[in-house]
Amino acid sequence: MLPERLVTVGWFGTPDEAADPQAKLEKAGVTSYLSGEFYRHNEPVELRVPEGELNRALAVLEIDPKEWASEEPRGADPRFKSCPDCGSGDSRPIRPYALYALVTSLIVLAASVALGQIAIGMGGVFLGWFLAMWLSRDSGKTKCLHCGRKWIAS
């Protein structure tokens, strides 16, 4: 059986800001999740509930369902675009991890040269460059968290 779809009932700047509304939901017996629980600077935190518990969650948080439905999602962050396939506003830019692979390969090279194991360092550089090329294929794209589609946001 597929898990129930999660819907966003609110956006917050930090997990601490989302703690009170989430505690209200838990006290009322509504299951809730924070999408950005492992907070990264400049990324909003979403308070999400299963779709079947949405009306109860809106009542607990004292949000008018008509007002909530008219917004794109409640307090939506304009940096994130709607998905061209499903129309969901739950999207995020894909991070450019290729740079991390290149830097790591250069660190491995420097450490291996210092230890006199140049062959290991060259293997690390080859692997790092290979990973960087593979990881860069999604650089600059946005990913929908609802359906998984990746696209280049304009």
Is there a single domain that holds both residue 13 and residue 71? yes
In a domain, 126, yes or no: yes
More confident residue, 76 or 27: 27
Is there a single domain that holds both residue 69 and residue 103? no
pLDDT at 124: 83
Residue 111 lies in domain: 95-138
**Number of structural domains, the chain?**
2
In a domain, 19, yes or no: yes
Residue from 138, 125, 132, 60 nearest 99 by CA: 132
In a domain, 26, yes or no: yes
Is there a single domain that holds both residue 56 and residue 107? no
Is there a single domain that holds both residue 103 and residue 70? no
Contact 135, 147 (CB under 8 A): no
pTM for this predicted structure: 0.45
In a domain, 151, yes or no: no
136 in helix, strand or coil?
Answer: helix
Q: What's the chain's average pLDDT?
A: 78
Q: Return the minimum-mean-pLDDT range out of 13-17, 75-79, 110-114, 143-147.
A: 75-79
Q: What is the mean pLDDT of residues 65-87?
A: 61
Residue from 97, 105, 104, 89 nearest 135 by CA: 97
Is there a single domain that holds both residue 101 and residue 73? no
Is there a single domain that holds both residue 12 and residue 66? yes
In a domain, 120, yes or no: yes
Which tens digits make up the pLDDT trace of 115-132? 999 888 888 888 888 888
Is there a single domain that holds both residue 62 and residue 112? no
Q: How far apart are alpha carbons 82 and 90 in whole angstroms?
A: 7
Largest CA distance in the chain: 68
CA 149, distance to chain mean position in Å, is: 14
In a domain, 83, yes or no: no
In a domain, 23, yes or no: yes
Q: What is the mean pLDDT of residues 50-68?
A: 84
Contact 153, 141 (CB under 8 A): yes
In 3-state terms the chain splits into helix, strand, coil percentages (rounded to 5) of 45, 15, 40
Q: How far apart are alpha carbons 80 and 151 in whole angstroms?
A: 12
In a domain, 67, yes or no: yes
Q: Residue 104: is it exposed, middle or buried by C-beta count within 10 angstroms (0-12/13-18/19+)?
A: middle
Q: Return the minimum-mean-pLDDT range out of 12-16, 102-106, 107-111, 120-124.
A: 12-16
